[in-house]
Structure formats: C-alpha cells, structure tokens
Chains A and B, each alone.
Chain A
Amino acid sequence: MFLPASSSPKLRRTLAVIGAAAAVPLVLAGCTDNTKTTGATDGPIQVSSTANECKVSTGTAPSGNLTFAVKNEGTEVTEFYLLAEDGLRILGEVENIGPGITRNLVVTAPAGKYNTACKPGMQGEGIRASFEVTESGTKPSVDADFQKLLDNGSQQYAAYVKDQTEQLIVGTKAFAEAFAAGDAGKARDLYASTRMHWERIEPVAESFGDLDPKLDAREADLEPGQEWTGWHRAEKDLFPPAEYTAMTPAERTAISTQLVADTEDLVTRTRTVELTPDKLGNGAKELLDEVATGKVTGEEEIWSHTDLWDFQANVDGARIAFENLRPALEQKDAELAQSLDEKFTALQTELKKHAKGDGFVYYNELSQEQVQQLAALVDSLGEPLSKLTAAVVL
C-alpha cells in the first residue's frame, strides 16, 4: 500500500488535509472535562505504585469522570490500568510513569465492577485489585463515540435483516413450489424452518401494516370479509384438522403465487427501511411479547404445532438486536447489559432442552410444567428488555 512516488502538490495537500482532518475531530470528540471527580469523594483517587504494591486510596468511587493520580514510588518505570471486570478490556491507562513522577488518568466510567492494575517494569499481568464504581446519578454526556456505537448497532441489524430476508425469499419460493405442486411432504418439511427467517425479523416486517396480515394472519384473527392468505392458510392445508376440505390445485397455486409475491414485496421494502436504535430496542421487546402472547400459548401454529421454531426465531431476533446495541448499552448501563445477557442465556438453555434433530419437538408434546418453565423465563427476560430502549436512547 505504498503511495506513488509522484510529487504532485495535490497529493501532498491531500495527505496533510487527511492527517489534520483525522486528528481534529478526534481531539474535539475526545475531550473530557478536567474538572475533578464529582460526588462525595472529592479530588483525585491516589494510587501509589511500587515494585510489589499497587495501593489505591479507595476501592469504590461514584460514576462519572474518575481521576486517578498515579505516583510511582518504586524504582522502575510503571504503568497504571483501569480494566473492565473481565480483566481484558482497557478503559484507560497511563504509561511511562517514571520513578518519582505522578501522572493522572482521567476516565469516564459507568457504574460497575472494574479492576485496577499497576505494572512496574511494564510487563506481565500487573498487580491487580478490584474496584467498584457506584451509580452517582450523573450520567456522562452522550459523546460522538457513543453515537457511533449506536449507529454501528443499527447498521449491523440492517445487515441482519437483509440476510434474513434473502434466506426467506429463497425458502419461500421452494416452499411455494412444493405446495403448489401438491408435494405436501416436502412443503411440511420446509414450513417451520422457512418461517423462522420471517419470525426473526417480524417487527420490521410488521412495520409494513398491509403485508403482515397478508403473510401471517391466523384464521382466528381474521376480520370479517378479509381474504385469508399467507403462511397459516397453507399450514391448515398441510396439517389438516378433522372435517377439513382440502384446497384444490388451483387454490394452492393461487396461495403460493400470492405468498411469493408478497414476500418479494417485503424484501424490496425492507431494503429502504431506516433502522434506528429505538426501533431495535422496541423491536426486541415486541419479539418477546410475540413469544409471550402467541408462542407460549401455542396459538400461533395451531395445526402444525411448530411453535417452538417460531419461539426460537423470535428470541434470535431479539437477541441480535440486543447484541447490536450492547456496546452502546454497556457505556450507559452495564448492569442492564449483564442482566439481559444472563436472561437470554437462561431462556436459550431451557429452549435447547426441547431441540430435536434440526428443529424442535412439537408444542403439544410439551408438558404443562415445561410450558410454565418457558413462560417464566420469557417473563423474567421481558422485564429488563423493556428498559433497553430507554437505556440506549435517553
């Protein structure tokens, strides 16, 4: 990647401008108030680093801007780090603290658990201690970095939606072909797994008010005079209840054609939908509500009983939205991120117990206790999830 050996003044100017342009916004965005710690403990936190000790004057501090005044009282050059609880992520560091010298580390830390570390001799793990930041109520102001994290999250989710719709259209075409051809066996095989792509991005799909009923309406929810099309119309024909009159080949073809056309319409429209952090946050909550109202009750797939596929897909969609918002959330409310992580894991662990082959057991095979267990985990995830949007947007 070398630059051409041309000495055109234009190139040089461009380089200088790039250099300056790269530095200026960073400086502006990276400024932080030099004012010392706000809250009960005034003044910087004193740190004394020697060859075998790393004394920090306090083990807790209120959240906001923390100033560590690190004095090297040893004989070797030392470094000081503030690390996340995992001991890996660096929140701040000062290097090159020579003997007899005091240097300050100013770092903005939300409430949570951290580690401090001195590294005399600048090598190894350092001398570590845990450090706690308590909630002070003063939120650090939103800076450009935070906005960037949010934007990244939205972009990642948009990519996810794109990917899911692509898989959805491919699956839908295969399903529609089998269904129209009267190949019920193949269509049944494709039914649940293809629908997962739809269920994962349901809040986005639902934002187009006209498409959702055409694609996903259940017979019980039909309004008077509404024509019944979409997945569940096919479901009833593939998993027919007693005293059901099968569709004619012409009817099946019509449903199939419509299903593909509507899905194609959906794919096109999702390409231009603008995803914002609040849409991600609210969408995640909506997905979980879907689980609570439709899947836990077994109403969604009343004939096929493939509710657990949808269940898993809704949880996937919610989890991806959360993961994409997570870097931003961790800056604002690390505890909430932690709690969501735990609850998603718990629900996923329980759901996995009902996996069977590539899919799941049928919903009517679950015992009452098993359903209750799932419902309880959904409820306990729903509570912190409802705080997600407010935490990242406000």
Chain B
Amino acid sequence: MTANYLIGLREGLEASLIVVLLMAYLIKTGRRHLIPRVWMGVALAIAISLGFGALLTFGPRGLTFEAQEAIGGGLSIVAVALVTWMVFWMARTARSLGGELRSQVDKAADGAAWGLVVVAALAVGREGLETALFIWAAAQATGETTLPLLGALLGLLTAAGLGYLLHRGVLKVNLGRFFTWTGVGLIIIAGGVLAYGIHDLQEAGILPGLNNLAFDVSAAIPPSSWYGTLLKGTLNFSPATTWLEAAAWLLYVIPVLFLYIRANRSAPPQASRKTSTTAVTAHP
C-alpha cells in the first residue's frame, strides 16, 4: 500500500509541477482567462494516456520495450524544449507588464498560449503513459485486493493536493521574486526531465553509456523511500545517475540559467517603460 502510494505520488508530482508553475504565472500576469487552455492540455494528455494504456493492455498489439522508452525519452526532450521556450517567453512578457507595448504583447501572448496547451499536454503526457499502464495493472489486480489501486490513487490525490498548496504558496510570493523563481524552478525541473529522457534513450539502447555511472547514492537515498520519491517527483533526481545524464543536466541547466538570470537582470520584472522597450527590441 505505502509503496503503491509512493508511486502515485511520484508520478503525480512529476506531472503537476510544471502545470502549477504555468498556471501561477498566468494568474500573476492577469491572464486568468488562459487557464482553461492549460486544463485543456492536461485533459488531452490524460485522455490520450488512458486510451493508449487501455489499447496496449487489451488491444491486439503491445508496445515493444524500445518503443516505450523511445517515446518516453523523445517526449521528455520535446517537453524540455517547449518549457525552455515558455520560460524565456515569460521573462519577456513579464518585462513588458504595464509597458506601452502591453496590447501588442497581449496579442502575442494569446497566440502563444496555444503553446500552453502543448506544454501542459507534454508535461502530463510524458508520465501519463507509464501511469496509465500502472493503473490498468493495478485495476486488474483488484480482483484480489483493492489496496494497490487505492494506494496509487491516494498517491495521485496527494500529489494533486501538494500541487494545490504549492499553487497557493507561489501566489503569495511577491511579484518580482515570483518571476525569477518560477523561471529558475522550471529550468531546474526541465533539466531533470532532460536527464530522465536521456536515461530512457540509454535504456532503449539508442544512446550509449547506461552503465557508466557518475555517482550512485542509492544507499543514502533509496528510490523507494519517501524522500527519494519526492526528489524524483519534483526534480527528477535519480540516485544512480549516468555520466551522460549528469553532463546533459549540467550542459542544460548552467547555460540556460545563466542566460535567464542575465535576461532578468538586464530588465527587472517591474521594469520602467524605458527598459521594457529596449528589452523587447534588443532581446538576444
């Protein structure tokens, strides 16, 4: 029961964190009306995942292991690209808040918000297939006992609850800090997603180096423990990380964070009109 609960919690957290940060951002920038699009993406991902899970379990054809890993890994990498784009898009629109270009930016934001649907769908869908397969397996096992399914569902609910609390929490943060920290948070989460995607591709044999570990702290942070679960669910931290994963994480997080912080420094969130104008035209 506890173990199944932790699985639900981990998968739920992985899926909900990005969604929470996206929504908080929309609220902070007064674009509450775009939130349905995020939900649309989430709903889309859940529907596709469940349909896929059912099809693969009960349909005439299953998915080979390589394909499963390749899809998971490929989606992760696409998700990272989109999240990165969102982060910089956010940094840019945030700077123009209250600026004279507001209406123009709003127009752009309304258009770009369809990107929100895709980002939300990817963030949820990435883990969705795996979760759907787990839930089908758990549902089948309920012939013997309902405990596994119950545990997994409670885990998912807890993740949703934590997501909600986080959502409330980030809304209280002051606006200036908020933009910096959501961006930093998203970049670090995206780095984890990227590393995880690399790991999937390594397991599928598409990328080499699966057995070359950069570090292995499984003894100190067992993946089945609650703290291992939380680290994995929030940061995609793997206690046994390969060199390639570690390198991908560093090569992504360090330069992107640097560029992001520089972009924020050069034009602080509550920017004056002057800086916002230059920031928009002179964006790197």
Contact = CB atoms under 8 A, between A and B. Distances in A.
Interface string B120-151: 00100000001001100110110011011001
A2 to B, nearest CB: 5
A32 B63 contact: yes
A77 B3 contact: yes
A12 B109 CA distance: 12
Interface string A53-82: 000000000000000000000011100000
A112 B75 CA distance: 33
Counting chain B residues whose Cβ lies within 8 A of the other chain, the interface size class is: 35 or more
24 contacts: A1-B84, A3-B82, A3-B84, A5-B85, A7-B108, A7-B115, A15-B78, A15-B81, A23-B75, A26-B71, A30-B64, A30-B70, A31-B61, A31-B64, A34-B61, A34-B62, A77-B3, A96-B130, A98-B3, A99-B1, A101-B141, A122-B224, A123-B239, A123-B240
Given A5-B88, A5-B91, A98-B134, A33 B60 contact: yes
Contact of B70 (A12, A26, A34): A26
Interface string A1-42: 111110101001001101100110011011111110000000
A7 B89 contact: yes
Give the secondary structure class of B's interface: helix
B227 to A, nearest CB: 14
B169 interface: no
Interface in A86-145: 88-93, 95-108, 121-124, 145
Contact of A98 (B108, B152, B219): B152
Interface string A358-369: 000000000000
A207 B240 CA distance: 51
Nearest to B65: A92
A90 B203 contact: yes
Nearest 7 Cβ contacts at the A-B interface: A30-B67, A7-B112, A98-B4, A92-B65, A3-B85, A123-B218, A5-B88
A82 to B, nearest CB: 8
B64 A100 contact: no
A27 B210 contact: no
Given A22-B78, A99-B3, 15 more contacts: A3-B82, A7-B111, A9-B111, A22-B74, A23-B71, A33-B61, A76-B224, A90-B210, A93-B65, A98-B134, A101-B141, A107-B65, A121-B224, A123-B218, A124-B218
A35 B61 CA distance: 7
B214 to A, nearest CB: 16
Contacts of A18: 78
Contact of A93 (B118, B147, B203): B203
B180 interface: no
Interface centre among A2, A32, A104, A145 (most CB of B within 10 A): A2
Contacts of A29: 67
Interface in B65-104: 65-68, 70-71, 74-75, 78, 81-82, 84-85, 88-89, 91-92
A98 B118 contact: no
B64 A32 contact: yes
Contacts of B64: 30-32, 92, 106-108
A5 B88 CA distance: 5
A89 B208 CA distance: 10
A90 B3 CA distance: 25
Contact of A106 (B62, B256, B283): B62
Interface centre among A3, A18, A91 (most CB of B within 10 A): A3
A102 B29 CA distance: 46
Nearest to A99: B3
Given A30-B71, A32-B61, A32-B63, A88 B88 contact: no
Contacts of A106: 62-65
Contacts of A93: 65, 203
B211 interface: yes
Contacts of B176: none
Given A19-B122, A98-B3, A123-B239, A30 B205 contact: no
A90 B7 contact: no
Contact of A76 (B3, B62, B71, B259): B3
Given A2-B256, A12-B115, A12-B118, A100 B88 contact: no
B62 A31 contact: yes
A121 B61 CA distance: 30
B59 interface: yes
B198 to A, nearest CB: 14
B230 to A, nearest CB: 15
Interface in B151-194: 151-152
Contact of A100 (B141, B203, B256): B141
A98 B7 contact: yes
A90 B65 CA distance: 9
Contact of A5 (B74, B75, B78, B89): B89
Contacts of B92: 5
B259 A103 contact: no
Contacts of A105: 65
Contacts of B78: 15, 18-19, 22
Nearest to B81: A3
Contacts of A99: 1, 3-4, 148
B215 interface: no
A7 B56 CA distance: 36
A145 B62 contact: no
A348 B71 CA distance: 42
Contact of A122 (B66, B109, B223): B223
A3 B112 contact: no
Interface in B36-58: 56
Contacts of B252: 1
